[in-house]
A and B are shown apart, each in its own frame.
Chain A
């Protein structure tokens, strides 16, 4: 699956570079001096035991947390002192670990919010339904209908997402991230709490997006089988430090990684 030869989008240069990031909350170090990179068009997994700092890492990239030290560069531009919405404008989108959908809005409306960065009409255009707003709405709706079709959620597109089962909510959230047409997607446990069948479908969607649009993916996942199957390279975090980085096969045989997962004591 990781044959780089027959992919539409060949894995290229680093698109995201994380350099010596440190993040702490009070006295607790969530991330300590961590560096890794993500190459263009690859599927990069971040794994690690609970509390290893995986979600904190995504939140740093996304601008929700500000690391105390180190820098993050996206497409060669340093990301510092910026807010999530500026990061979004640069072309990074994400999903959340504990679902952050707009609960009272329908599935299609949720996905339409993802088109925000492609909407230039002001409230004035919208209020008076000027041609600009109408044209834009038409295009956005068409794009979102395509995403709905791709994710196979046509039947529930008009249902308020708060009423949907968990698996479908995860799918809507992926749809919303896709609607942004970001070049880098951060997926925080896209398959958590799903059954095998749902996981398989989610994997298919992720790989298909990567294949078809060349979207670079960074995903956090607990299911080792899934990680080994779909990712090109894996970063392993433990206690906020990187203990392994490389292709799945290499990481799997890394002694430190095995220790972390099997719970060997963390003495020297």
Chain B
């Protein structure tokens, strides 16, 4: 242990390679139903990316911020307008600039965090959610003066080749999510992440060690919003295939918050686990309702059941395992490998 100075262990590299082979080769080759790509894999990756953004600000920096969907909307509409108005701007370029625009907005709405904390900050950041949506609705320019209220997103074109089939779009997202996840892990494990966590755990002590609260919080807000912005753009361009402010309402913000908490605060893999769970659980319930109980249970009851189970799970996790499903997974792995050793 003492000699490993690199941020990554051998296990990390093995896990990474396995995931890459799975994501880039096995899934595209074996999964041949569009349903899986358009309804599960694509939204899962997009929302996981947004959840990483939420993790940065809430899980790592400990700032209760609510309003991820607002920044997603900012990113989505920024991307739409950039592609619409800037000729020859490559898709990835538009994606990065969208993220930066979301980050700039995030900095402004992060400023209250210097004065208020906890539940009050949550209320203050909630303003961003409503403000961004309101601005987009109010000023027609953002929607290119489209009267219908729903705009179709442009096709993703990279180097002249359109990526419109579900598999193609999945691969585009996978590339973006992979790169950004690596960046997030690098930051979380490096000095940047340590500063965030220091502010989260004991801000007075962090300050006495020379960590600037102002700089660290604002930085975390900016990075968090960047991730949400890019995720929003991807979400609109590949999953929704349209742009409407309603899609990025407060419900989506809460969904991302739940993904963050259930997955495990302060973990990157938890973002993927949490997003996967919240996305797949209703699908599973529906499947059970249709195939096991053969429609004996009413669909409304099933959707109510879904809410009940989420609520109970949230409470249970908050009390017994604040580190969420990512922690359960770690424990399971540890037990599994220890048995193997013997």
Give A contacts to B, CB under 8 Å. 62, 64, 83-85, 87-89, 93-94, 96, 100-105, 109, 112-117, 119, 121, 123, 126-129, 133, 136-138, 140-142, 145, 154, 158, 176, 180
| Given contact pairs A100-B204, A102-B198, A180 touches B209 in the complex (Cβ within 8 A) | yes
Q: B190 an interface residue at 8 Å Cβ cutoff?
A: yes
- Decide if B219 is an interface residue (CB 8 Å cutoff): yes
Within 8 Å of chain A (Cβ to Cβ): is B208?
Answer: yes
Pull 19 A–B residue pairs with CB atoms less than 8 Å apart, ordered by A: A83-B207, A84-B204, A85-B207, A85-B210, A101-B205, A102-B198, A102-B202, A102-B206, A103-B201, A112-B194, A113-B198, A116-B195, A116-B210, A123-B187, A123-B219, A127-B192, A129-B7, A136-B191, A180-B209
| Inter-chain pairs besides A129-B7, A140-B191, 15 sampled, C-beta below 8 Å | A87-B208, A93-B208, A100-B204, A102-B201, A102-B205, A104-B197, A113-B195, A114-B209, A119-B191, A126-B186, A127-B183, A128-B183, A133-B191, A137-B190, A145-B2
Q: Is residue B5 contacting chain A, with contact meaning CB distance below 8 A?
A: yes
* Chain A hits for B2, CB < 8 A: 145, 154
Contacts of B200 in A (CB 8 A): 102, 104
Q: Does B136 contact A (CB under 8 A)?
A: no
Inter-chain CA distance A143–B7, complex, in Å, is: 16
| From A62, A93, A103, A137, contact of B191 by CB (8 A) | A137
Judging by beta carbons under 8 Å apart, are B209 and A88 in contact? yes
Chain B 1-41 near chain A by CB (<8 Å), digits 1 or 0? 11001010000000000000000000000000000000000
How far in angstroms is the closest Cβ of chain B from A13? 25
Residue of A nearest to B223 (CB): A123
Q: Closest Cβ of chain B: how far from A37's Cβ, in Å? A: 22
Q: Are A105 and B208 in contact (CB under 8 A)?
A: no
Beta-carbon contact of B198 and A180 below 8 Å = no
- Kindly state the separation between the CA atoms of A121 and B192 in the bound complex, as whole angstroms: 9
Residues of chain B within 8 A (CB-CB) of A85 are 207-213
Kindly list chain B residues whose C-beta atoms are within 8 Å of the C-beta of A158. Answer: 1
Q: Are B209 and A105 in contact (CB under 8 A)?
A: no
B186 touches A113 (CB 8 A): no
Complexed CA–CA distance, A140 and B192 (Å): 13
Nearest B residue to A62 by beta-carbon distance?
Answer: B208
| Residues of B bordering A, CB below 8 Å | 1-2, 5, 7, 183-184, 186-187, 190-192, 194-195, 197-198, 200-202, 204-213, 219, 223, 266
Report the minimal beta-carbon distance from B58 to chain A, rounded to whole angstroms: 14
Contacts of A180 in B (CB 8 A): 209-210
CA distance A96 to B197 in the complex (A): 18
Docked complex Cα distance between A140 and B194 (Å):
13
The 3 closest A-B pairs by CB, nearest first: A100-B205, A88-B210, A102-B201
Per the bound structure, the CA–CA distance linking A87 and B195 in Å amounts to: 17
Chain B residue numbers with a CB within 8 Å of A83 are 207
Which residues on the B side are within 8 Å of A115 (C-beta)? 191
Chain B residues closer than 8 Å to A109, beta-carbon distance:
194, 197
Report yes or no: A100 in contact with B202, Cβ–Cβ below 8 A.
Answer: yes
List, in ascending order, chain B residues with CB within 8 A of A88's CB. 207-210
Please, how many angstroms separate the alpha-carbon atoms of A88 and B210 in the complex? 5
Q: Which residue of A lies closest to B193 (CB)?
A: A126
CB distance from B145 to the nearest CB of A (A): 37
Which residues of the other chain, A, contact B202 by a CB distance below 8 angstroms?
100-103
CA distance A114 to B78 in the complex (A): 40
Q: Report which residue of B197, B198, B210, B212 has the largest number of chain A beta carbons within 10 angstroms of its beta carbon.
A: B210
Return chain B residues, CB-CB under 8 Å to A128. Answer: 183, 186
Q: Which residue of A lies closest to B204 (CB)?
A: A100
Q: In whole Å, how far is B264's beta carbon from the nearest beta carbon of chain A?
A: 12
Known: A123-B219, A128-B186. A112 touches B191 (CB 8 A): yes
Nearest chain B CB to A150 CB, angstrom units = 14
Q: Report the bound CA distance from A100 to B203 in whole Å.
A: 9
Residue in B closest to A136 when the chains form the complex, CB atoms: B191
Contact partner of B186 among A112, A129, A136, CB < 8 A? A129
Contact check, B5 vs A176: say whether CB atoms are below 8 A apart: no
| Residue of B184, B206, B213 ringed by the most chain A CB atoms within 10 A | B206
**Closest Cβ–Cβ distance, residue A79 to chain B (whole Å):** 14
Q: Give Cα distance in the complex from A116 to B206, angstroms.
A: 9
User: Which of B186, B198, B213, B223 has most chain A Cβ within 10 Å?
Assistant: B198
A118 CB to nearest B CB, Å: 9
Whether the pair A116, B205 counts as a contact (CB closer than 8 A) is no
A116, B193: Cα distance in complex, Å: 12
Q: CA–CA, A211 to B208, complex, Å? A: 24
Minimum C-beta distance from B112 to chain A (A): 19
User: Is the CB–CB distance between B209 and A116 below 8 Å?
Assistant: yes
Q: Which residues of A contact B192 (CB under 8 A)?
A: 123, 126-127
Closest to A64 in B: B204
Tell me whether A102 and B197 are in contact (CB under 8 A).
yes
Q: Which of B187, B201, B212 contacts A126 (CB 8 A)?
A: B187
B201 with A105: CB separation less than 8 A: yes
B210 lies within 8 A of A141 (CB): no
B114 shortest CB reach to chain A, Å: 12
Nearest neighbor of A90 in chain B, beta-carbon distance:
B210
The smallest C-beta distance from B317 to any residue of chain A, in angstroms, reads 16
Taken together as a complex, chains A and B put the C-alpha atoms of A96 and B1 apart, in Å, by: 30
The interface residues of chain B lying within 8 Å CB-to-CB of A116 are: 191, 195, 209-211
Residue of B7, B201, B209 most packed against chain A (CB within 10 A): B209
Q: Which residue of A lies closest to B322 (CB)?
A: A104
